[in-house]
Amino acid sequence: MQRVRQLLVSLAAAVAVGSAAVGFVLRWVLHYKEGLGWDGGPAEFNWHPVLVVIGLVFLQGVAITVYRIPWTWTCSKLRMKFIHAGLNVLAFALTVTSLVAVFDFHNAQRIPNMYSLHSWVGLAAVLLYALQLVLGLVVYLVPITPGNLRAAFMPVHIYSGIFIFATVIATTLMGITEKLIFGLRDPPYRDSPPEAVLVNVLGLLVIVFAGLVVWIVTRPSWKRPGENVPQTLSSGDNSNTATNMSLRDRGGKTEPK
């Protein structure tokens, strides 16, 4: 019970901090910037931070932790896989839209594309995210994929999911840095106007949100029941594969992947 209470507190904190980040990015573009539009101008650019924070940051964070939500533990594993995949597909769709917005804006304003470290890392992260989605769907949702392949791939799936998420966070922080330097002129960023403080705090919220997501998803005892073997046999495991392998070694049963 203590275990579930700590998990719930962590989940609630993650949702609160992630929602605050979404609120901060909306406040930024709607109050301090030009609002939202689709006209090749700054209002179209503004979809980029908004959709990235909602999709790649918040929704991807929720997708990563969704198996840890205790209310879902009575749902079938297959349904949870569809929810995990569905949230990631939605996040990916928002991301693609956010990229269209920024390329449109750059082209309309004759600003070169793909010159900054932000753009290099961001595009690499989105391509890896697409690959992760396709491989995840093929390996875990195509019924004929053999169980041993699913098990063997799980450590890579988990690691690359967290790696891509961390890379997205770093890219967001670079994007914030760029936009505050380019977008704040009078007063400039170095004079710390209210907009700069608000967006710096947005950056901190994004980091804290990511820290909570990774903490939640790497606590062995907070796993969905049925993925865990008893603590005395195998405690402290980040890899479903390994747990299931150790169960199999002992002739135990686990939920099908």
Binding site for a copy of itself (CB under 8 A): 111-112, 115-118, 120-121, 124, 155, 159, 163, 166-167, 169-170, 173-174, 176-178, 180-182, 189-192, 196, 199-200, 203-204, 207, 211, 214-215, 218-220, 231-239, 241-243, 245-246, 249-250
Nearer to a copy of itself, 93 or 124 (CB): 124
In the complex, what is the shortest distance from the CB of residue 252 to a copy of itself, in angstroms, rounded to a whole number? 11
In the complex, what is the shortest distance from the CB of residue 189 to a copy of itself, in angstroms, rounded to a whole number? 6
Q: How deeply is 231 buried, as exposed, middle or buried, from its count of CB atoms within 10 A (0-12, 13-18, 19+)?
A: exposed
Work out whether the CA dihedral 39, 43, 49, 50 comes out positive or negative. negative
In the complex, what is the shortest distance from the CB of residue 199 to a copy of itself, in angstroms, rounded to a whole number? 7
Nearer to a copy of itself, 97 or 200 (CB): 200
Nearer to a copy of itself, 93 or 181 (CB): 181
Nearer to a copy of itself, 97 or 238 (CB): 238
Residue 228 tokens read as 């865990």
For residue 156, the SS3 value is: helix
Nearer to a copy of itself, 37 or 42 (CB): 42
In the complex, what is the shortest distance from the CB of residue 212 to a copy of itself, in angstroms, rounded to a whole number? 10
Residue 65's nearest CA partner among 124, 135, 14 is: 14
How far apart CA 217 and CA 162 sit, in angstroms, is 9
In the complex, what is the shortest distance from the CB of residue 190 to a copy of itself, in angstroms, rounded to a whole number? 5
Long-range contact set of residues 116-125: C-beta below 8 Å, sequence gap at least 24 = 116/174, 116/178, 117/174, 118/171, 118/174, 118/175, 118/177, 118/178, 121/167, 121/170, 121/171, 121/174, 122/168, 122/171, 122/174, 122/175, 124/167, 125/56, 125/164, 125/167, 125/168, 125/171
Nearer to a copy of itself, 85 or 170 (CB): 170
In the complex, what is the shortest distance from the CB of residue 244 to a copy of itself, in angstroms, rounded to a whole number? 9
